[in-house]
Amino acid sequence: MLRQKLTYGSRFCAIEHATNTEFYLLGLEKKKKELVIFQKKEFKDQEEVFAALKGQKHVYLIINNEQVLTKKVDFRHIAKESVVKAAFPNISVNDFYFEVAENDVSSTVSICRKEVIDRTVKAYLEKGISVIQFSLANNNFENLLPFLNDFQFHTSNTLFDVVDHKIVDWKKSKPVAKTYDINGLIVGSNQLLPLAGILSYYNGVDRNTEEKIQGQLVKEYQQKRFFQLGLRFGLGFLFVLLLVNFLVFSSYRNKVSDLTSELTLNETYKKQLINLTGIVDKKKKLVESINSVSNSKVIWYFDEISQSVPKTLLLSEINYQPLTRPEREGKPLIFTNDLIIVKGISKDNSDFTQWISELEEMKWIEKVSFQNYGTQKTSVTSFDFTIQLKSENR
């Protein structure tokens, strides 16, 4: 069933080319495992047929017009060509397509010139419609026999007597407007042969026409169909592949974008870290320098100053290499080199003056500069001065 679905799809059509340039079309569609009629029309112009079949990729063709000759002979043979020659002894079999229908005692032979069939098949093919099988005259009527009760059935030009699902007699007749219920499908007499044709290729029934041409038509259609399906599948696969590639590319692009943003952020952090590391290194070196000096000179300076202080003076602060300016966030620390600030209070001005003179006489002191020496009403006076160290003492 899957192969049939892939090959034919869900719609099946058959067209009868009847006498007096009449065309009888029947279309069945498979829905929920049963066939239903979706198209049932009659035409007098073949272009109208092509228009009605627009979009249909395949059709079963019945040639049942003046181009077909039919003859009944009381002769049966396993070789179909022998039956044809018995019915039409004067024709060249190579110039005709033929179809043979047999019963227990006789054979019905229908023939049509190959050029007529080939021209008709080509006309459909030029409209994008493949003729997958064809039959001549009323010979495909036998495909309906399993579904028929004992009765008389009219086709477009023939009357059949059916008994026990067999054709007991047939004869030519004029068109008769009749309606039949064939296994639940309501069709007119002009649609019986198209219905039989659809059942033929829907059920895969072997035809009694020349096997070579029928097999060639089916093969050509199947090749064409599978090429179209392969092309669609290929394009679909290519589209899916491109879509997957696009999604993968988008995913990687987003990841690259995220990594790029992260890298940029990391570069910023790296620069900040380098700057902070530089500042820390500078401070570290400064601290190491101060500590180094503190371990040697600073303690000695402080000791020299404290030993020289008179008893009438009290020191409140000794600041070695003080900050040039107050500490501010984001601003570097700058120290005043070779400078000591001394603060305190004095109870005796003469002792204070004498002490300053002694400091100025010390070899490691460049000069002493007063910042503040106030006179208060009390006997205690505050002082604030700086000691500039000599450069060779560094």
Q: Which pLDDT tens digit goes with each residue over 17-28?
A: 999 999 999 999
Residue 156: other Cβ atoms inside 10 A: 27
Edge-first strand listing for the sheet containing 107-113 = 69-73, 107-113, 96-102
The CA distances from residue 96 to 86, 111, 388, in Å, are: 15, 6, 134
CATH number for 309-393: choose from 3.40.50.1400, 3.40.50.720, 3.40.50.300, 3.30.1360.100: 3.30.1360.100
Provide the whole-model pTM.
0.61
Q: Which pLDDT tens digit goes with each residue over 18-64?
A: 999 999 999 999 988 889 999 999 999 999 999 999 989 999 999 99
First-to-final CA distance of the chain:
105
- What's the one-letter identity of residue 336? T
Asked if the model's pLDDT at residue 258 lies above 80, the reply is yes
> CA-to-CA distance for 193 and 158, rounded, in angstroms?
11
Asked if the model's pLDDT at residue 293 lies above 60, the reply is no
Mean pLDDT across 117-146 = 93
* Mean pLDDT for all residues in the chain: 86
Asked if the model's pLDDT at residue 68 lies above 90, the reply is yes
Q: Is 75 or 148 the better-scoring residue by pLDDT?
A: 148
Domain boundaries, the chain: 2-209, 309-393
CATH architecture label of 2-209: 2-Layer Sandwich (3.30)
